[in-house]
Chains A and B, each alone.
Chain A
């Protein structure tokens, strides 16, 4: 009985010692394809040869033993430091390492797409499916004039004034003259360096700057046309279109280079998204209530 207890104690002591002093699985020999094992991580012979060639710009067969020894020392040092980086979990807090890892993973998964050359047929099909992307940008020059209304009682009078201004402008009265006679003002929506902007402006910029109803009216006007009065919170607007170059659909030949770029970018995005979906699918992600709301929003 005593012997059994002693044996058990001895066994436990040995197991405990082994547990707390273990260095992990060790290889006793270096596999033939490796030049060295650093904490069981291999330094490949092929990598070593490439490194010698790169570092000394000489064919490996012509490198000296000193050169080879130097490269080996460097590669061992590099491996040790990489392992140390993983040991202290460098990717978890160093933004540069994280960025490099993300870039590396993305490059790996999109390599096929980057290398693949789409055929002319694929590009044309892509162009047909995304034709709206290849529309030349419209350009306009316009004045957004407003007849300001002071009170609720004067609203009808303001509208009448704006209608008179519209009629006069449509009859060919110069804009500045109409501004003076009907006490109109530029709305201030289209300004450049503190002045009213009557230069060319891209449609997308006008859309961003103008109120929705004003832009809708402007987009429908040809050069030289005047809109109907548009009631807004600050008064009644009249849009005078000085010049309007309507967006034109570009043909395939004109858009070919952008089609190619867009095709490749879309393909990369698809692959990247699919990869993230896959990774999310197998990940265990716990969300706080706030994060859950945001996640719902993202969907």
Chain B
């Protein structure tokens, strides 16, 4: 017993010291690597936020980083309204974020970022809130039959089945009594200063069938989006903007 335990005891302290040294070095290296990686991520985030949006759109490496940063944020913060696949929800009026139509701005990273920062009718003073879709029927701007005529006109614009006579009457109302052209433009292509969508289909915020259009024109719409400026970090917001830019330009 003594002959075997003796050398082991003699080598013990040295071995233990060596072990501690190895573990210490390994831990230090791991910590340094972790720190390096953390600094690298912070540096990428800073770079993501510092770049002007137009430059960012042409930097595949930064875009890849932005998308990886944005996806989990989107799942937690945005998917409940806009859907996991970004295609929106007609019931709640959450627009499709993967198409090329934007209610506000030109769909560039800067404009998308602005909407995410301050929201739409969010209560933030910088939110998009120029106007909303008036309740044409409810406030008696148009009578109920006139609302129906405008619905037929919008169906015609979007190449859906419609009643010709009613659509013709609706066309006149669109440019006259209803004042629809004021926001949706003469060519019904919409106006991104007002958040007025195009009316040519097939993308609709609240649905493009007869009933949904009637509800929209009769009772108005007041869609909203929260302001995320005090909830998400600047890199997360910029990353989300870049992610949505990429998804909406994928096709």
Contacts and interface: CB of A to CB of B under 8 A. Distances in A.
B126 to A, nearest CB: 8
Contacts of B234: 31-33
Interface stretch (A114-122, A208-216, A287-295): A114-122
A8 interface: no
Interface stretch (A104-112, A124-132, A187-195): A104-112
Given A59-B108, A256-B138, A257-B140, A49 B124 contact: no
Contacts of A112: 123, 224
Interface string B79-106: 0000000000000000000000000001
B149 interface: no
B221 A117 contact: yes
B108 A115 contact: no
B114 A111 contact: no
Contacts of B52: 49, 60-61
A98 interface: no
A45 B219 CA distance: 38
A111 B122 contact: yes
A46 B127 CA distance: 13
A59 B49 contact: no
Contacts of B224: 111-112, 115
B49 A116 contact: no
A134 interface: no
Contacts of B122: 111
Contacts, number: 73
Contacts of B125: 104, 107-108
A64 interface: no
Interface string B136-167: 00111000000000000000000000000000
B49 A60 contact: no
B49 A33 contact: yes
| Nearest 4 A/B pairs, CB to CB | A111-B123, A33-B234, A61-B54, A32-B46
28 contacts: A31-B234, A32-B45, A32-B50, A32-B235, A33-B235, A33-B238, A45-B50, A46-B113, A46-B117, A47-B126, A50-B110, A50-B114, A60-B53, A61-B54, A104-B125, A108-B123, A108-B125, A111-B121, A111-B122, A111-B124, A111-B127, A112-B123, A114-B121, A115-B121, A117-B220, A256-B138, A257-B138, A257-B139
Interface of A: 31-33, 44-47, 49-50, 53, 59-61, 104, 107-112, 114-117, 256-257, 260
